[in-house]
């Protein structure tokens, strides 16, 4: 299949806008080759991304909220050539198009994006690697389409963040109000900064979960340079608007009950905890019953452990991917 070079993301008629690591996993196969940019057409524009090792077993790699496909730049070079890493930018992130104006976001929209990519490549089966929001979306997709997913790897996430049913009406009202306010400001100009400032701003925005070096990796796809030498972030500002409609914990458990794949969670020791521990424990219990194999690994590191310390995460991915079902 011919893969097209990706350009800048476009929304509503306006343009918005590797690390080379030593291989630590012993393998008879050569290490991963440099990626090529890809662009997948969708009704509202395109999904941008990059692919390492065409022709290998597909591993669709999904980033976290406000990140982009660059989140896998340090891990991918440590994986063997028989694993084809396809890393995408979700809509409004990185180099992908923004969704049309007037549409509020929900978490389950990410599942539509995953299915579009799967259909574009014609994959009958796929494995999923996801960090944070991307990991939660991977699990939900595997529950929605259990016949399509072989393996799921979730990095520093145990489950999607649930919305209590009794809180939903008020949260929906607040989301709609905020969405309309943000939309009214789109197209009125991007704030621009010195490069050192946006690096520092990104690090602080992630509560120092990333380093200066890894912040610069994310900014390769997450910023745009202007003719005056200043930089702007290129994300869709609507990404910061809360989901217009969430899912309850009970609904999430039904997705987990439908898993028919192998599942591994790599949890960072200093990663955030989004919900009460009993919800996490209950979900892990469900995974152990529904998944063909459930592995839970805790590693030292921050929420972006895969980006900061790929030598910690890559061997776990390789071992899990090479497991025989």
* pLDDT band with cut points at 50, 70 and 90 for residue 32: low
pLDDT of residue 1 exceeding 90, the answer is no
Q: Collapsing DSSP states into helix, strand and coil, what is residue 265?
A: strand
In terms of Cα–Cα distance, which of 194, 197, 268, 260 is closest to 228? 194
Tell me the catalytic residues. Answer: 132
Q: Specify the 3-state DSSP secondary structure of 16.
A: strand
- What backbone phi and psi angles, to 5 degrees, belong to 23? -70, 125
Q: Are 164 and 96 a contacting pair, CB within 8 Å?
A: no
Q: What is the pLDDT of residue 10?
A: 31
Note the pTM of the prediction, 2 decimals: 0.89
Residue 33: the pLDDT is 66
Residue 23 pLDDT exceeds 70: no
Contact 51, 38 (CB under 8 A): yes
> Which CATH fold would you assign to the domain 35-161+246-321?
Rossmann fold (3.40.50)
pLDDT of 53 > 80? The answer is yes
**150 or 189: whose pLDDT is higher?**
150
**Radius of gyration from C-alpha coordinates of the chain:** 19
**Is residue 198 within 8 Å of 205, Cβ to Cβ?**
no
What ranges in 186-231 are assigned the alpha helix state H? 195-205, 212-222
**Residue 41 CA, distance from chain mean position:** 19
Distance from chain centroid for Cα 75: 14
Query: What is the structure's pLDDT at 12?
Result: 33
CA separation for the pair 133, 130 (Å, rounded): 7
DSSP state of 323: -
Q: What confidence score (pLDDT) does residue 11 get?
A: 35
Domain regions of the chain by residue span: 35-161+246-321, 167-240
Mean pLDDT of all residues in 95-117: 93
Q: Which residues contact 174 (CB under 8 A, 6 or more apart)?
A: 242
37: tokens are 């940019």
What average pLDDT does range 35-64 have in this prediction?
96
Kindly state the average pLDDT of the residues 136-154.
98
* Cβ atoms within 10 Å, residue 92: 20
The string of pLDDT tens digits covering residues 214-223 is 999 999 999 9
Reported as type and span, the H/E element at residue 109 is helix 109-121
Q: Which residues contact 13 (CB under 8 A, 6 or more apart)?
A: none
Most confident of 16-30, 31-45, 101-115, 150-164: 150-164
Positions of E strands within 139-261: 149-155, 223-225, 231-233
The predicted structure's pLDDT at residue 190: 85
What tokens appear for 77 in the block?
Answer: 């070079």
For range 99-116, the mean pLDDT: 91
DSSP code of 209? S
Tokens coding 36: 């090529």
Return the closest-CA partner of residue 161 out of 64, 92, 52.
64
Tokens 């939660």 sit on residue: 136
> What is the overall mean pLDDT for the chain?
90
Q: Is the pLDDT of residue 4 over 50?
A: no
């Amino acid at each position: 299949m011919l893969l097209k070079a990706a350009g800048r993301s476009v929304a509503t008629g306006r343009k918005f806008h590797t690390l080379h690591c030593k291989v630590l996993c012993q393998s008879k196969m050569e290490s991963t080759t440099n990626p090529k940019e890809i662009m997948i057409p969708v009704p509202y524009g395109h999904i941008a991304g990059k692919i390492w090792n065409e022709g290998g077993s597909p591993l669709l790699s999904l980033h976290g909220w406000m990140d982009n496909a660059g989140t896998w730049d340090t891990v991918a070079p440590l994986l063997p050539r028989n694993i084809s890493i396809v890393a995408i930018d979700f809509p409004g992130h990185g180099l992908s198009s923004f969704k049309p104006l007037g549409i509020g976001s929900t978490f389950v929209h990410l599942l539509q994006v995953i299915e579009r990519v799967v259909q574009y490549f014609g994959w009958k089966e796929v494995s999923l690697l996801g960090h944070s929001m991307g990991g939660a979306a991977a699990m939900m997709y595997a529950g929605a389409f259990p016949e399509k997913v072989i393996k799921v790897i979730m990095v520093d996430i145990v489950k999607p963040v649930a919305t209590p049913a009794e809180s939903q009406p008020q949260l929906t009202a607040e989301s709609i109000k905020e969405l309309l306010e943000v939309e009214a400001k789109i197209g009125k100009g991007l704030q621009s900064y010195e490069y050192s400032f946006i690096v520092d701003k990104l690090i602080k925005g992630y509560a120092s979960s990333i380093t200066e070096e890894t912040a610069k990796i994310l900014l390769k796809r997450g910023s745009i340079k202007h003719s005056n030498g200043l930089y702007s972030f290129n994300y869709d500002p609507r990404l910061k608007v809360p989901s217009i409609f969430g899912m309850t914990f009970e609904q999430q458990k039904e997705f987990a009950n439908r898993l028919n794949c192998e599942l591994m969670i790599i949890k960072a020791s200093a990663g955030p905890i989004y919900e009460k521990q009993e919800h996490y424990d209950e979900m892990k219990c469900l995974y152990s019953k529904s998944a063909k194999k459930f592995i839970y690994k805790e590693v030292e590191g921050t929420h972006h452990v895969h980006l900061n310390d790929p030598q910690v995460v890559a061997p776990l991915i390789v071992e899990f991917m090479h497991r025989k079902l």
